[in-house]
Chain A
Amino acid sequence: MASLEPRIHYEADLDPSFAREIIASSGSPSLMSCIQCGTCSSACPLSLYMDYTPRRIIAMVREGFKKEVLRSRTIWLCASCYACTVECPKQIRITDVMYALKRYAIREGVHPPRFPIPVLARLFYDTVRRRGRLTESWVVARLYLQTMPLRIPGMSTLGWKLLRRGRFPLLPEGIRDRRGLQRVLRVVERREVAR
């Protein structure tokens, strides 16, 4: 017989300020008025792959289940289609809440290991920050190296085709005034850290 694991949650394990932080960084105070109707979950095209449905994520955020929420795959599966946000009867900006949770998880470094989406997010931002432009070939190459190196041989044919048609530049692209862009982004970053 499989061993029994206790499913009880003690108040001491919860973070009472979690909901407040997420409201502040998502800009959606209506999160508190969620009536748990489940429209978001049924509108979501990806909820069938999620460990917690979006509705449950909202309930858990509100009650301070920080550990569980930040480790869930749900927030990384969100494809930002905004169907939930459009249909929510309480006008909760659920997609923005998901983004707030993703940012939080990256900051805390608690996202699921080798899960490509947070790695992609970071690579994307690093590239744009440094050069002012996205060079897809470099980002994709680094993503595969970091998260799924064993799948690189399987993708090589596609990579070769893209390369031949000029869709996959080898030289990194960039803008002229990179310093200026970095100055702007530093201001934004400082504000994000301050939050």
Chain B
Amino acid sequence: MNMQFITIFRALLFILLALALCSVIFVIAGFSAVELFESIIDGAFLRNGAMKHALRWAAPLFITSIGVIISFRAGYFNIGAQGQFYIGAIFAAFTAEWLNGAPAFVVIPACFIAGATGGALWALWPGLLRLKSGADEVITTLMGNFLASLILIYVTGGPLKDPSGSGQQASSRPLDEAYRLGNSYELSPTIIMIALSLGLFMWVIANRTTFGVVSGLAGRNATMVEWQGTKLLRVGLASFLISGGLAGIAGTVELMGPNGRLAAGFLPAHGFTAILIALVANLSIAGAAIAALFFGGLASAALYIPVMSGLPASAIEIINAAIALFITAKSKFLDKLFSLGRAKWKK
């Protein structure tokens, strides 16, 4: 328990440090840091229905972040969640288009399967390049993100283009009402249920199955795991596929829930935020659920503050980035402080 407390305390401390850096940046840019933070907190957690908005953003982020956790635990820096999210959404959109007219109980599961497949495929090639030839997955998945957003621009402006669109932003035809899991006005209980059950399922996989244990060990000491007779290729590839598949499912959720259509460059910060959630939660799935709420709140504040107080939404981007800068930090000073504390508790 003490260890957990220390981990949480450390995370909070570095988040505070990150916020301090943010306020310096805000002040240099000529905004009042107090006013900005006030309106962000208000937009994220205090205004009417803030919880609902936070949940709406948290659910897909949570799904993607579980995937990130799985690959990070296995020791692979799959930072291509954004691309896998896009490709999943694209696959699901094509499926919905192709099955248009079929009953919803056929179309919705088909879309989810397609979305998961799309996301997994977009994680498959970096995984293969990594495990077969040792090509660094950080760069390949990053490049995959850029490629996926180009593919999204192409798809929304070409094969799936909405001819009635206003032309300002390319987008696909809206999904039939019957296939939607929710809309952009209210929170969809279905989506929350999907996120929670995926979370539970993946928690069991990660903590109570051979795959979970072995992949977690592989992240710490791959050589040992290999010597004990595990095929590293299989475990590694599985973790790539699972993490891509989950990002793809999150894409499907966004498509069939709040968005209802594909738009070029939608939710550009999704993947990065999901990585942050995974890291803030210290790669624990239960922790990710809480962290997702926090970052979901921030995401909803990004829409709220430009409208309500006329402050720039990029402030949220900066807060997220600053947290990323500090979240993996360790400091000798802190460790000393903690070890002193621990010694006291033992007495």
Are chains A and B native binding partners rather than an unrelated pairing? no
